[in-house]
Amino acid sequence: MTNVSAGTLRRRPAQRRSVERVERMLDECARLLDEVGYEALTTKEVARSAGVPIGTFYQFFPDKQGLVRALALRNLDAFLARLTARLGSAGISDWTDAVDLAVDEFVAMKRTTPGFAIVDFGEVLPTPEGPPLKGTNRLLDAALENNVIVADRLRALTIDLLGAPTGPGLDRALIVAVEAADAVLKLAFRTHPDGDPDLIAECRRLIRAYLADHLPEL
């Protein structure tokens, strides 16, 4: 099970039963997002589908947006865990190979993870084709855009696993890379439900070239 950040919950589950209930509500939220979309999603239906009283739902989540925020953070944790495992086992010979793995894992989650087509790392798409719901670009943190948070998490991973040099150059390069990848991959999935393979390939090429040019010392 993935632990949801304490900052997203009204009350952090302490007992195993409570943890299982929270995970079940997140699972049902993801499933219902695929079935009915964000606009039709209700806290009452999530609670009913998860088999918990509505009062229990509100013990942990303030509202629908809080639930979706927790799901987005769980998605981000899962993505980073998958990427870390791939980086550890792939025997990467060049750091830019990590770009391919990151894109591959994102695309795989987009295709297979429930709810991920509607809510990946925070921004809400009312339909998989978009456009994003206004204001959800700061769903994870009111002060920071979602992609800034994603870039920061990737920065920590890059430093820990690949020995990237710290400093403002890395920070800036990763934010630009995340923004560019986000835009191209959104286009790929608008073009085709499973992601247009040519556009996905272009995304890999674009980010590899950009980072190779801006972080040659890696």
> What token pair was written down for 84?
């870390």
What's the pTM? 0.89
> pLDDT tens across 109-120, in order?
999 999 999 999
Report the range out of 11-15, 73-77, 166-170 with the highest average pLDDT.
73-77
Is it the case that residue 3 has pLDDT exceeding 50? Answer: no
Residue 10 has a pLDDT of 53
Question: Could you give the 3-state DSSP secondary structure of residue 196?
Answer: coil
Instruction: Count the Cβ atoms, other than its own, within 10 Å of residue 106.
Output: 22
* Domain spans, the chain: 91-214
CATH number of 91-214: 1.10.357.10
Angle between helices 97-112 and 64-89 (to 10 degrees): 140
Name the DSSP letter for residue 6.
G
Partners of 129 in the β-ladder: none
Cα(84)–Cα(158) distance, integer angstroms: 10
**Torsions phi, psi of 144, nearest 5?**
-130, 145
Residue 130 has a pLDDT of 76
Is it the case that residue 171 has pLDDT exceeding 50? Answer: yes
> pLDDT tens across 53-100, in order?
999 999 999 999 999 999 999 999 999 999 989 887 766 656 678 899
The answer to whether 190 and 183 have CB atoms below 8 angstroms apart is no
Amino acid at 186: K
Question: Could you give the 3-state DSSP secondary structure of residue 119?
Answer: strand
